[in-house]
Amino acid sequence: MTGQFITLEGTEGAGKSTNLAFIQTFLSEQGIEVIVTREPGGTEIGEAIRTILLDNALTEMTSDTELLLIFAARAQHIQEKIQPALAAGTWVISDRFTDASYAYQGAARSMGFERIAEIERWVQQGFQPDTTFIFDLPVEVGMARVRARSAETGQVIDRFETEKQDFFEKVRSGYLNRAAAAPARYEILDASQPISSVQTAIQARLETMLA
């Protein structure tokens, strides 16, 4: 029996990390073996690429370079970590996956969706998540959360988080358009709700997957 692949998507500050932990705990309590991972990253090579991608000093990085680095990390991630785990019956939960490329590089950076799709076909060969949760909330709310987190923890704002509000409005629209085009795979969650309400909706979707 193969595992299930769940991905979490959304703009900055949408609460993906908190809810990833909730999903991991819920599934573990059902006796399911789970691993959590992230993109870009997930492997030693992927994490090295992530460091480059998020470095806010690298202001000259072109959109093409950004996209290719992300898919290079993704190719390693899929082959080294995700697919072997699924084949062993383990469920995999990833903070971001290919939907992020269409939202950030496609919608927000105005790169051609067909160009992204061509690279996706080469790297993934039809491989897709089983379920994708999109954490949706007004951009200004998410960015306020990012600033508050940075002030509280001293965490440096990364290269993506330095983008303007208009960039993230495009990201948000990109995600919602992806979900509208293939609604069966996506669960859109109102991330401005209390966390308990968000997690009630997540649990309902997970219970459907387990049925």
pLDDT digits (tens, 9 = 90+) for 197-207: 999 999 999 99
With a cut of 90, say whether residue 47 has pLDDT above it.
Answer: yes
DSSP string, 91-115: EEEEE--HHHIIIIIIIIS---HHH
pLDDT digits (tens, 9 = 90+) for 164-178: 889 999 999 999 999
Domain boundaries, the chain: 5-210
With a cut of 90, say whether residue 109 has pLDDT above it.
Answer: yes
pTM comes to 0.93
What are 10's strand-pairing partners? 135
Spell out the long-range contacts of 61-65 with Cβ–Cβ below 8 A and sequence spacing 24 or more: 61/159, 63/105, 63/109, 63/111, 64/111
- H or E segment to which residue 131 belongs: strand 131-136
- Residue of 178, 131, 135, 127 whose CA lies nearest to 6: 131
State whether the Cα torsion 137-182-16-194 is positive or negative. Answer: positive
CA distance 132 to 167: 22
| SS3 (DSSP) at 188 | strand
In whole numbers, what is the pLDDT of the chain averaged over residues? Answer: 94
Superfamily of domain 5-210 in the CATH hierarchy: P-loop containing nucleotide triphosphate hydrolases (3.40.50.300)
Pinpoint the alpha helices (H) of the chain.
16-29, 44-54, 63-77, 83-87, 98-100, 113-124, 139-153, 165-181, 195-210
